[in-house]
Amino acid sequence: MQAPRPTRRHVLAGALAAPLFSNSVRASSGELNILMWSDYLPAAFKERFTVETGITINHTPVGSNEEILAAIEATGGPGFDLVSPTNQRALQWEPLGVLQPFDMARVPTDTVNPAMLKIGSDSWNFNAAGTHWLPHIWGTEGIAYRTDRWQPEGIAPSYGDVWSEALAGATMGRAQSMLVGAGLFLEAWDELEPGSVWAAYENEDTMRRVWTQITDWAVDRRSRINRLWNDAETQSAALLSDEISLGQTWDGPALALKSQGAPVHYQAPVEGAMAWVDGLAMPKAAAHVEEAYAFIEFAYDPENAGLATQSHGYNSPVLGADRFAGETYAKNFAEAYPADSLSKLNPWPAEAPWYAALRAEFVAKFKNA
């Protein structure tokens, strides 16, 4: 699977009219159980949804794809009506056989970026039964820093700044993606063969060779890293602390703080930010199917998507959502992805189960160093 390279043009392309909710949806008094990333359902969004539909959202927050998979594997699917896997995890979900295809006639696809919809129809079309995944939120992982404590030497920060001796003890990141960032940095400085990081997804032998080089390099610098994060809240708290000056982070938490006036900046690094699309998937055991489709219809309304975007700081695949996200969002987006940043995005490749398992071994080695 190759994820799309989202651009500002795609996001801005043609805002379309919002769909109208049916009387049956408006009259609903049901509930909806969602397993989703911790900061994706802002209070204002949930409140508007409940007022509009009468449906109460029960949100179980998670901070990683591993948590989502573990929760579903533990139950086989019952307990949740919608889950939120990331685009590149299709190869890990298909063997589980716990998802059902969406009835696309009930999805307002005319309001959604077609390149992102194509991810579901191409890579999540399990057993040719139809799409099992819909795009919900997209974003990137790059560099966030405290503007009152640090500034990049050039026009953009680098993944290498996380590991620099000058910032020793004042940086943070998520272990598994920090190692990828380190690899991209090493490629840029010709200490690793160009293309090695993404070639590692192709087979186990290549991954072992490449990740051994990266991990050994990172282990030698492990003491320079102050914190390891695993969710949005941890990133935000660290950026507001007295300890952290810079980190490899998601865009949303840092840009949300920036929108609130904190001295925090997020920017795509010179090596290219890592891009992802988190989606919606419906377990076969979903107990509230009608409510799930009501949520999708609501979330794909540009005004509602813009309301959520304004709060969580990520980006929406809904066409025209940015018009409702406010001037601060537009300014933050432009400053996070200046010049040719969008053309240099690195979409996360598809992850086979063997890749995830092997990566966990290297991550453990790094964490325990």
pTM for the model: 0.87
Contact criterion met (CB below 8 Å) for 251 and 142: yes
Domain locations in the chain as residue ranges: 8-138+275-343, 140-273+349-367
Q: What share of the chain is helix, strand, coil (3-state, %, to 5)?
A: 50, 15, 35
140-273+349-367 and 8-138+275-343 share a CATH fold = yes
Cross-sheet strand order for the sheet of 31-37: 56-62, 31-37, 82-83
Q: Match 């690793």 to its residue by tokens.
A: 192
pLDDT at 28 over 70: no
190: left (phi over 0), alpha (psi -120 to 50) or beta: left
What is the DSSP code string of 57-121?
Answer: EEEEEESSHHHHHHHHHHHSSTT-SEE--BGGGHHHHGGG--EE---GGGS-GGGB-HHHHHHHH
Q: 33-71, pLDDT tens digit by residue?
A: 999 999 999 999 999 999 999 999 999 999 999 999 999
Which of 266, 258, 263, 232 lies closest to 341 in space, CA to CA?
266
Q: 234-276, pLDDT tens digit by residue?
A: 999 999 999 999 999 999 999 999 999 999 999 999 999 999 9
Q: 332-347, pLDDT tens digit by residue?
A: 999 999 999 999 999 9
* CATH code given to domain 140-273+349-367: 3.40.190.10
Q: 162-183, pLDDT tens digit by residue?
A: 999 999 999 999 999 999 999 9
Our CA angle for 46, 34, 260, nearest 5°, is: 45
Task: Say how many residues make up the chain.
Answer: 369
Class at the top of the CATH hierarchy for domain 8-138+275-343: alpha beta
Query: What is the pLDDT at residue 29?
Result: 63
Q: Give the DSSP H or E segment for 292.
A: helix 289-299
Lookup: tokens for 273? 């930010």
Contact criterion met (CB below 8 Å) for 73 and 81: no
Phi/psi for 274 (5° steps) reads -90, 125
320: left (phi over 0), alpha (psi -120 to 50) or beta: left
pLDDT at 4 over 50: no
